[in-house]
Structure 1
């Protein structure tokens, strides 16, 4: 069984979902520290001026876990994010297809960042017909940190392969994985080199939230991946 593990992100980019699709089980790593200025509470969309960050404000304390990170709802972030998406993507080909689902994200009363991200990820997976089961590390028993935690999570679900980004080469204890009988499969992030985008004067940008591809291309999103990626 091939397992992928990643922190829950806000409006993740495309490689996040292609990695989920390639795995047999995906573990949301919500039991580790929240990273300030990471992608757990923000991501980029395209505006007429170029890439633009959408950031969910959070109440942060040193050493707090993602699962314990609370959203700061004193700021009117939900209205701002929804208005920005409507302004930037209202004319996109598939906007009306996904509008109701997206509006539900911002109509909801969210206090937990992890819960918000989990809902968004599950919704976007449904749009993409990605059916990989999901577990949360906070609901599992595995302990440890860094490479040890990843390996223990794999062992808890009896994984035979761990699907990692190439950045894993910097911290994974490959010998420990080998001795435990878990093969590490490194997967580089692959992005489309072209697809129809709004705001052409801002140039083509491919490192945005997967929302950009989905809202512009709808069900045909996978046809814009390199050919070797389309059957994954």
Structure 2
């Protein structure tokens, strides 16, 4: 995504269940771990993405942080980025879109992204061919289908093998902000 100079986040689409809009995948000691931000009306809602509210009825922020620590406390760059990730989780956003934007803004700083990130002004079912439309490109059910040939040492690789296409936290905690990775 950061290879593009102008990123627009779709705010007027209907919430897409079974997507990465409120979830991520990490590498744990026993395999891939799924983290989902709970939603007020559940995942089957038909609201616009900009209106989808986070449910704070559970203690999900503490649970997510414990899972992240369990998965990455031994990663080489965990200590360097832990406070930033912890503060993102503690910042009580009302809407999923606001949480996603704060995460994206933090990542843009970490990776020194020089482009712009903004929200769409209106919904477009299709975009011109010169626009790289990634709205439905990556889904949890087929996240491993794409092979970006991006390899780096993961914390539990010796136990569970290399797990491709995980959350950016895996790359960041294991490799740091350098995108020049390879084996």
Fold match (TM-score > 0.5): yes
Whether 1:22 aligns to 2:3 is yes
Q: Tell me how far apart the structure 2 counterparts of residues 109 and 203 of structure 1 sit (CA, whole Å).
A: 35
Q: Is the 8 A contact 1:57 1:73 kept in 2?
A: yes
Whether 1:70 aligns to 2:49 is no
Provide Cα deviations, 1:152-177, integer angstroms capped at 9, x if missing partner. xxxxxxxx931245x78xxxxxxxxx
Q: Tell me how far apart the structure 2 counterparts of residues 193 and 163 of structure 1 sit (CA, whole Å).
A: 20
Q: Tell me how far apart the structure 2 counterparts of residues 125 and 54 of structure 1 sit (CA, whole Å).
A: 22
Provide Cα deviations, 1:30-86, integer angstroms capped at 9, x if missing partner. 110101121100110000011110000002364201100000100111000011101
Q: CA deviation at 1:193?
A: 4.3
Whether 1:218 aligns to 2:176 is yes
Q: CA deviation at 1:190?
A: 5.6
TM-score norm. by structure 1 comes to 0.68
Higher helix content, 1 or 2: 1
Q: CA deviation at 1:91?
A: 1.1
Q: Secondary structure at the match of 1:219?
A: coil
Structure index of larger Rg:
1
Q: Tell me how far apart the structure 1 counterparts of residues 119 and 20 of structure 2 sit (CA, whole Å).
A: 18
Provide Cα deviations, 1:88-118, integer angstroms capped at 9, x if missing partner. 1011101111111111012111211100010
Q: CA deviation at 1:24?
A: 2.2
Which is bigger in relative contact order (C-alpha 8 A, separation at least 6)? 2
Corresponding residue for residue 70 of structure 2: 87
Whether 1:125 aligns to 2:108 is yes
Corresponding residue for residue 196 of structure 1: 153
5+ residue gaps in structure 1?
1-18, 152-159, 169-188, 227-232
TM-score norm. by structure 2 comes to 0.85
Whether 1:163 aligns to 2:132 is yes
Corresponding residue for residue 165 of structure 2: 207
Distance 1:46 1:39, change over 3 A: same
CA RMSD of aligned residues (A): 2.1
Q: Is the 8 A contact 2:152 2:182 kept in 1?
A: no
Q: Tell me how far apart the structure 2 counterparts of residues 23 and 59 of structure 1 sit (CA, whole Å).
A: 33
Q: Is the 8 A contact 2:29 2:159 kept in 1?
A: yes
Whether 1:53 aligns to 2:10 is no
Corresponding residue for residue 125 of structure 2: 146
5+ residue gaps in structure 2?
138-145
Higher strand content, 1 or 2: 1
